[in-house]
């Protein structure tokens, strides 16, 4: 799995009809900054409202997943979201000039192909994984539906479907590595049974349905007059079918294509939790309603475990900047270089690490016999972390000095002692103007806030 966040290198557009609304729309994938997340934007509506890809925004599950925010809706988002998860894209703005993404061929493949034509961009921010801490279960006994998320240090999905159909029977599909999604899952198309078509039309759905963008499974003998009726339904001169099989004798791309498409839907719907998952997902007879209810259960656990404003530091992952790269940016040197790693850096936020050990020179004279890290040095380390953020805004940071101009609302919440790992987070409170930066700094040990302050600094060229 990718460790750092990704977006796309430049905009790319796909166009086509929406499956359920039948409205032709252009959908443009736009690059986005780190921590932006996945968002849709209805550029055809007044004010061009933005709709977050969030499970709490789901408002309808009629044969697809529909989200709404600020009165603006986007229908059938699951195939688009599945493509983004499959490519491990974290930050993107999806602009639509209609109510629904194009159905294309009924799979995620064409979205992936379009995105890969422009390419991906790695960003200086670690992905904010949600690692399932304990088994989560969801059941609908009346429909024999079960979903489970089990702890795992990667993302795997296994789906079983059973429609009691002589054509389909029982099918399984598995995704063991998210990197396999593009080749193994993305091309699997949406499907329905013949007996569902009339019902879907009566519900004012599948207005954009066509035999080129959906598989229609025929599990009974069909008379000629019914075939003529279906031809009119799909605006075709003729449709045909073997005794039992696929309408118009469409060839399946995989023997278990329906099961693979159900897996695709699970991946797309679970994207609505808002963070990439590390879990083993098991799904028996899933559907959009169950997927979304399960996603809500996962999100509620995320919220219960606490806010995500504390930067997640994983020492196993490579840093954004190591100690040598930090030394190339900051002028500080031993014993006053107080930052060991930078593990997150974007245009507004930086996060770094200081490993506190008994070998620190200040412990020799500060409270001998009772080693406590001086508060002023905690602030200095926090300021150096913020200095990385400020200096990242100029092309040649080695030619600049950073100076403190002010410290406000400084508080020390808990003592910091040898053995602690200090995690610093600094966030700009306003755009940098005339070399002046104001930022909020926080320091954490584990889940505890130990120090905070609002800092103002100036960057000055060394040759001035």
pTM: 0.78
Count the residues in the chain. Answer: 464
First to last CA, the chain: 46
Q: What's the pLDDT score for residue 245?
A: 63
Together in a domain, 28 and 104: yes
- Contact predicate 215/190, CB 8 Å: yes
Together in a domain, 49 and 100: yes
pLDDT digits (tens, 9 = 90+) for 366-375: 888 899 999 9
Confidence of residue 463 (pLDDT cuts 50, 70, 90): confident
Residue 250 scores a pLDDT above 80: no
State how far the Cα of 315 lies from the Cα of 423, in Å rounded to an integer.
Answer: 11
Together in a domain, 272 and 330: no
Q: Where are the beta strands (DSSP E) in 178-255?
A: 191-193, 215-218, 245-246
Q: Report yes or no on 442 lying in a domain.
A: yes
Q: Report yes or no on 314 lying in a domain.
A: no
Q: What's the pLDDT score for residue 265?
A: 97
For the segment 401-424, the average pLDDT, to the nearest whole number, is: 95
Handedness of CA 81, 85, 89, 91 (dihedral sign): positive
Together in a domain, 329 and 287: no
- What is the SS3 assignment for 204? coil
For the segment 229-236, the average pLDDT, to the nearest whole number, is: 62
State how far the Cα of 232 lies from the Cα of 335, in Å rounded to an integer.
Answer: 81
Q: Report yes or no on 316 lying in a domain.
A: no
Q: Report yes or no on 403 lying in a domain.
A: yes
- Contact predicate 275/388, CB 8 Å: no
Together in a domain, 145 and 288: yes
Confidence of residue 225 (pLDDT cuts 50, 70, 90): low
Domain containing residue 226 = 191-249
pLDDT digits (tens, 9 = 90+) for 252-280: 899 899 999 999 999 999 999 999 999 99
Residue 207 scores a pLDDT above 60: no
pLDDT digits (tens, 9 = 90+) for 318-371: 899 999 999 999 989 999 999 999 998 888 899 999 999 999 999 989 888 899
Helix axis angle for 288-304 and 257-270, nearest 10°, is 30
Query: Which residue bears the tokens 């029982």?
Result: 170
pLDDT digits (tens, 9 = 90+) for 19-73: 767 899 999 999 999 889 999 999 999 999 999 999 999 999 987 999 999 999 9
Across all residues in the chain, what is the average pLDDT? 89
Among 203, 223, 249, the domain boundary falls at: 249
Residue 83 scores a pLDDT above 90: yes
The side-by-side arrangement of strands in the sheet containing 191-193 is 191-193, 215-218, 245-246
State how far the Cα of 390 lies from the Cα of 221, in Å rounded to an integer.
Answer: 71
Together in a domain, 14 and 39: yes
Together in a domain, 227 and 282: no
Together in a domain, 175 and 205: no
Please give the tally of structural domains in the chain. Answer: 3
- Please list, residue by residue across 198-223, b when 16 or more beta carbons sit within 10 angstroms of its beta carbon and e when fewer do: eebeeeebbebbebebbbbbbeeebe
Handedness of CA 299, 303, 304, 308 (dihedral sign): positive
- What is the SS3 assignment for 200? helix
Q: Report yes or no on 130 lying in a domain.
A: yes
Which residues does 223 contact at the CB level (< 8 Å), separation at least 6? Answer: none
Residue 90 scores a pLDDT above 80: yes
| Closest CA relative to residue 123, chosen from 147, 155, 101, 91 | 91
Give the DSSP letter string of 69-117: ETTEEE---HHHHHHHHHTT---EEEEESSSS---TTSSSHHHHHHHHH
Structure tokens at 182: 């593009």
Together in a domain, 213 and 171: no
Together in a domain, 370 and 429: yes
Which of 24-38, 306-320, 386-400, 430-444 is predicted least confidently?
Answer: 306-320
- Distance of CA 350 to CAs 1, 280, 310, Å? 23, 31, 12
State how far the Cα of 131 lies from the Cα of 151, in Å rounded to an integer.
Answer: 7
Together in a domain, 142 and 240: no
Q: Report yes or no on 318 lying in a domain.
A: no
Together in a domain, 67 and 97: yes
Segment holding 233, helix H or strand E: helix 224-233
Segment holding 452, helix H or strand E: strand 448-461
Q: What's the pLDDT score for residue 428?
A: 94
- Contact predicate 245/192, CB 8 Å: no
Among 238, 272, 304, the domain boundary falls at: 304
State how far the Cα of 283 lies from the Cα of 46, in Å rounded to an integer.
Answer: 40
Q: Report yes or no on 309 lying in a domain.
A: no
pLDDT digits (tens, 9 = 90+) for 116-133: 999 999 998 888 899 999
For the segment 73-85, the average pLDDT, to the nearest whole number, is: 97
- Contact predicate 178/153, CB 8 Å: no
- What is the SS3 assignment for 65? coil
Give 38's strand partners: 92
Residues of the chain by 3-state class (helix, strand, coil), percent to 5: 25, 35, 40
Q: What is the CATH number of the domain that holds 436?
A: 3.10.129.10
Positions marked catalytic: 288, 366
- Distance of CA 269 to CAs 227, 265, 274, Å? 34, 6, 10
Q: What's the pLDDT score for residue 234?
A: 61
Among residues of the chain, what percentage have pLDDT more than 70? 87
Q: Report yes or no on 263 lying in a domain.
A: yes
| Closest CA relative to residue 127, chosen from 92, 81, 90, 82 | 90
Which of 40-44, 140-144, 243-247 has maximum average pLDDT? 40-44
Residue 163 scores a pLDDT above 80: no
Q: Are strands 341-345 and 349-355 parallel, antiparallel or unpaired?
A: antiparallel
Q: What's the pLDDT score for residue 198?
A: 60
For the segment 168-195, the average pLDDT, to the nearest whole number, is: 90
Confidence of residue 82 (pLDDT cuts 50, 70, 90): very high
For the segment 218-227, the average pLDDT, to the nearest whole number, is: 63
Confidence of residue 316 (pLDDT cuts 50, 70, 90): confident
């Amino acid at each position: 799995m990718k460790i750092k966040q990704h977006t796309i290198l430049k905009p790319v557009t796909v166009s086509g009809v929406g499956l359920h609304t039948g409205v032709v729309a252009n959908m443009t994938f736009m690059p986005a900054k780190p921590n932006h997340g996945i968002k849709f934007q209805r550029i055809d509506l007044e004010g061009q409202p933005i709709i977050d890809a969030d499970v709490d925004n789901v408002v309808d599950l009629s044969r697809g997943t529909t989200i709404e925010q600020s009165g603006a809706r986007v229908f059938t988002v699951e195939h688009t979201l599945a493509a983004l998860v499959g490519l491990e894209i974290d930050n993107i703005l999806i602009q639509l000039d209609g109510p629904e993404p194009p159905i294309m061929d009924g799979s995620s493949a064409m979205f992936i192909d379009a995105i890969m034509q422009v390419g991906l961009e790695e960003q200086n921010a670690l992905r904010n994984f949600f690692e399932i801490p304990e088994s989560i279960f969801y059941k609908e006994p009346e429909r024999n539906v079960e979903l489970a998320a089990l702890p795992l240090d990667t993302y795997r999905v296994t789906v079983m479907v059973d429609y009691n159909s002589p054509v389909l029977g029982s099918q399984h599909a598995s995704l063991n590595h998210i990197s396999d999604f593009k080749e193994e899952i993305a091309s699997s198309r949406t499907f329905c049974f013949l007996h569902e078509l009339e019902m879907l039309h009566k519900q004012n759905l599948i207005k954009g349905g066509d035999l080129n963008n959906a598989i229609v499974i025929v599990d009974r003998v069909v008379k000629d007059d019914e075939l003529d009726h279906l031809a009119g339904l799909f605006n075709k001169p003729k449709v045909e079918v073997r005794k039992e099989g696929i309408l118009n004798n469409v060839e399946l791309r995989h023997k278990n294509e329906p099961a693979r498409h159900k897996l695709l839907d699970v991946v797309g719907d679970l994207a609505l939790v808002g963070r990439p998952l590390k879990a083993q997902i098991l799904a028996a007879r899933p559907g959009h309603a169950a997927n979304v209810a399960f996603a809500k259960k996962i999100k509620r656990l995320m919220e219960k475990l606490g806010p995500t404003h504390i930067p997640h530091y994983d020492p196993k992952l490579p840093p954004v900047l190591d100690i040598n790269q930090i030394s190339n940016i900051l002028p500080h040197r031993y014993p006053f270089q107080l930052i060991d790693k930078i593990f997150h850096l974007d245009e507004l936020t930086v996060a770094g690490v200081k490993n506190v050990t008994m070998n620190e020179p200040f412990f020799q004279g500060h409270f001998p016999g009772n080693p406590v890290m001086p508060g002023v040095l905690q602030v200095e380390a926090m300021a150096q972390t913020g200095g990385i953020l400020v200096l990242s805004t100029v092309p040649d940071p080695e030619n600049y000095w950073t100076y403190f101009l002010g410290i406000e609302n400084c508080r020390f919440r808990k003592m910091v002692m040898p053995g602690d790992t200090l995690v610093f987070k600094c966030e700009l409170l306003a755009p940098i103007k005339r070399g002046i930066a104001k930022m909020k700094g926080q320091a954490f040990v584990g889940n505890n806030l130990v120090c905070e302050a609002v800092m103002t600094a100036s960057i000055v060229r060394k040759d001035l």
